[in-house]
A and B are shown apart, each in its own frame.
Chain A
Amino acid sequence: MTSMRTPSGSAEPVIELRGLRKRFGAVTALSGLDLTVPRGATYGLLGPNGAGKTTTIRMLLRIFEPDAGEIRLFGSPITQAALDRIGYLPEERGLYRRMRVARLLTFLAELKGVPPRESAPRIRAWLERLGLADRAEARLQELSKGNQQKIQFIGAVLHEPELVILDEPFSGLDVINQQVLKEIVLDLKRQGRTILFCTHMIEQAEKTCDHVCILARGEKVVDGRISEVRRRHGGTYVALRLDRWTPEASARLKALPMVAGLREEGSDVEVSLRPGSDAQELLRAVVAAGLHLKRFEEVEPSLEQIFLDRVGEEAAASWRQEREVAHV
């Protein structure tokens, strides 16, 4: 565990992918992905459904073999020992429903090479922390969905892995439990563990992660430290809130000469400006157009904006729709 205290950057990356390819029949799931996850990073792997996120993770975990490319974990090719240093919460949750909670967790720890006498106190502590101490002898099927998911999460971190892979960890959890889980993830991060978040909830990743990689249709759109990604993307963006959003107001805004594009969410609008224009110009034009504002702020581009700029309106719109469906 001493390796975990090594300052990030000085050690070799936790995950390194080079030219990773995978096809399923006629479908190309991943076409030549390069990716580097530094030690200690909270790394968001983002993209719409079918972008290749889960395929990437499954290849990392040796569940699938890549058709081509190289995977290095903790600086060397995949070994059983390397896999033992990983904890994995899959998107499609599943546990032995008829098993009792404590027994199941003991089994999952044992699969990762932690003997029962070592896992027992950890299991007690985790159940305590997640408010499930009294359910240790309950069968999984007697637990609510949310509680089952907590058990699955415990199973993923019980062996104190250096790299924690969480595939859509917040889906299916109520707001309170989402908060509980966020706290725990923050704790893991403070302990120096590397976290790979796999999600299609881009705004959430933007808040939690310090690094991101956005995938679309099996290809990388952009990756790196979030601040860097934004800086590299360039351009001028303004977030503004209209006093009252109307189609007409929106149309007038869009018609302004310095506006390159709009991203609207209710009366919140993110405006990207044409090269050569600046925010002051926009402010003057908005006032002149007779639009009433509640907020006007020059901002860095959101990840969604970057995604939109890179892959086009159509792909971005369908992704937004997907997320809205997920929210409902």
Chain B
Amino acid sequence: MSRTWAVVKREFTEMIRTKAFVIGTVLGPAFMVGLIALQVLMAKTGAGERTIAIVDATEAGLGSRVSALLAPAPARASGEGEAGAAGSRGDGDVARSRFEVELHPLGDRDREALRAELLARVEAKELDGILWIPSGVAAGEGVLYEGRNATNIAELERVRGAVQVAVQGARLSAAGIDPARVGEALRPIAFDARKVGGRAASGTPMALVMLTYMLGLVVYMVVILYGQAVLRGVLEEKRDRIVEVVASSIRADQLLVGKVVGIGAAGLLQVSIWIAFAAFALTRGELIAARFGGTLPELPAVPASLGGVFLFFFLAGFFLYASIFSAMGAIATSDQEAQQLQFPVIMLLVVAISMMMPVLNDPSGTIAVVGSIIPFTAPIVMPMRAAITEIPLVELAGSVVIVTLTALGVLWVSAKIYRIGILATGKRPSAAEVWRWIRTA
């Protein structure tokens, strides 16, 4: 035991003395500060100024109504102007573009000539786009938007919403309803969302999505970075013939466990520093944001149980992958071979990362549940799910058991491969040979 402890100490102290560790530890928070600053700055300046031309072919002058909805006079900003935005409000922290509208009643003018003229101005960047409102729009004729920003979904949604409200108003008026009351009836509601907690975190959708992504990414990053550190360590001992001295003093499985625990402890230390910094920064975050003249999104409330789930799956995931990486290091005889061998391992992690979107959309759906049963994806999927939904205890316990057993099993197999592999040099062993090592070691 004291031997394993000596290895743990060595791996830990050597790891935290590396430049990579120091830089990573410092850059992590710097990255976070940068992220916050970027958000604030984007909220302030990132929103674009859009100038669009509305070509109105209707006789009722729908175009001016759309124009009023899109580009309200500053004085009535909080009134009707907030109209079309299904989804753009709600968090208060999404940057909104400002529109300026140029109205062109079509009247008797030649449509093609006008189009050519306007397109030339779009080309010259005087305009961002052209909105064509046909005369039969109330009867269902299609509205067309042509513009350089036609891929900006949020902006298109604003434009579409404005047209929608204008047309609805026109239809209601046509049905004989008092236009004043139409305006009242169509006044947008204020829509906001808060996720409710239970054992999961609660807060605004935006903050929760951020939190969930962070949890998944932290596990992913640490497993990759520190898992590969384990692989490099094993390879170094093997390549530099260190292992013979070590193996004459300590059993291979003790050495392996010491290595994984020591390097894992360094990873945990780094993440703890990050989290401590993040916690500090967030309590002071308003001040930092205020210096840039912005505000921060509302913070989610994180229950302690989520911390527990995260810590368990973080550690179990690291153990699982670090054991695989160590076995790869024991099999490989050169850096290039190690690169090839770790490719499938990293693919497993990429599969887990690709489950992030489906899990966010439906944290209790099939993909999320399957992802938390498969031991290789659970370490990333489970903390994410736990952040946004209350996981049934049976599922949670089942996942914990599966991941734990798999980690132990992989560690056991890895130790066997390791025991023989670390002394084998020369050419890379075939799969059949590795299988023989596992059976005979």
Contact = CB atoms under 8 A, between A and B. Distances in A.
Q: A and B from one assembly?
A: yes
Interface of A: 58, 61-64, 83-84, 86, 88, 90, 92-99, 103, 107-108, 110-113, 152, 155-156
Contact of B240 (A62, A86, A97): A97
Contact of A92 (B6, B237, B244, B249): B244
Contacts of B10: 107
Q: Residue among B243, B245, B423 with the most chain A CB within 10 A?
A: B245
B6 A94 contact: no
Contact of B244 (A90, A97, A108): A90
26 contacts: A62-B248, A63-B244, A63-B247, A64-B423, A83-B249, A84-B249, A88-B245, A90-B241, A90-B244, A90-B248, A92-B241, A93-B241, A96-B14, A96-B242, A97-B240, A98-B14, A99-B14, A103-B13, A107-B9, A110-B6, A111-B6, A111-B249, A112-B249, A113-B2, A113-B3, A152-B245
Contacts of B242: 94-96
Interface in B1-15: 2-3, 6-7, 9-10, 13-14
A94 B2 contact: no
A83 B245 contact: no
B241 A111 contact: no
Contacts of B240: 94-97
Max chain B C-beta neighbours (<10 A), residue from A58, A97, A110, A113: A110
Most buried by A among B3, B244, B248: B248
Given A96-B14, A96-B242, A63 B3 contact: no
Contacts of B243: 94
B275 interface: no
Contacts of B13: 103
Given A63-B423, A107-B6, A113-B2, A94 B248 contact: no
Contacts of B244: 58, 63, 88, 90, 92, 94
A281 to B, nearest CB: 53
B20 to A, nearest CB: 12
B250 interface: yes
Q: Indicate the size class of the contact surface on chain B.
A: 20 to 34
A83 B236 contact: no
A273 B398 CA distance: 83
Contacts of B2: 110, 113
Q: What 9 pairs between A and B have smallest CB-CB spacing?
A: A94-B241, A110-B6, A111-B249, A61-B248, A92-B241, A94-B242, A90-B244, A94-B240, A88-B248
Nearest to A90: B244
Contact of A83 (B7, B14, B241, B248): B248
Interface string B244-270: 111111100000000000000000000
Given A97-B240, A110-B3, 10 more contacts: A63-B247, A93-B241, A94-B245, A99-B14, A107-B6, A107-B9, A107-B10, A111-B6, A112-B249, A113-B2
B245 A108 contact: yes
B248 A86 contact: yes
Which of A94, A98, A112 is most buried by chain B, counting CB atoms within 10 A of its CB?
Answer: A94
Contacts, number: 64
A266 B2 CA distance: 56
Contacts of A99: 14
A323 to B, nearest CB: 23
B372 to A, nearest CB: 39
Nearest to B236: A96
A99 B17 CA distance: 10
Nearest to A159: B249
A6 B66 CA distance: 106
Contacts of A111: 3, 6-7, 246, 249-250
Nearest to A99: B14
A92 B422 CA distance: 13
Contacts of A107: 6, 9-10
Contacts of B247: 61, 63
A75 to B, nearest CB: 20
Contacts of A58: 244, 423
A89 B3 CA distance: 19
Contacts of B236: 96
A67 to B, nearest CB: 10
B291 to A, nearest CB: 42
A271 to B, nearest CB: 43
A179 B30 CA distance: 56
A81 B249 CA distance: 10
A98 B237 CA distance: 12
Contacts of B249: 83-84, 108, 111-112
Interface-central residue, B9, B240, B423, by most chain A CB under 10 Å:
B240
Contacts of B7: 111
Contacts of A94: 237, 240-245
Given A96-B236, A113-B3, A155 B245 contact: yes
A257 B6 CA distance: 68
B356 to A, nearest CB: 36
Contacts of B9: 107, 110
Nearest to A63: B247
Contacts of A86: 248
A158 to B, nearest CB: 11
B22 to A, nearest CB: 14
Nearest to B5: A110
Contacts of B237: 94, 96
A162 to B, nearest CB: 15
A38 B433 CA distance: 39
A22 to B, nearest CB: 13
A111 to B, nearest CB: 4
Nearest to B244: A90
A156 B246 CA distance: 11
Interface string B89-129: 00000000000000000000000000000000000000000
A234 B107 CA distance: 128
Contacts of A97: 240
A95 B242 CA distance: 5
Contact of A63 (B6, B14, B241, B248): B248
Contacts of B241: 90, 92-94
B62 to A, nearest CB: 73
A94 B3 CA distance: 19
Contacts of B245: 88, 90, 94-95, 108, 152, 155-156
Contacts of A90: 241, 244-245, 248
A201 B66 CA distance: 98
B251 to A, nearest CB: 8
A101 to B, nearest CB: 14
A307 B240 CA distance: 34
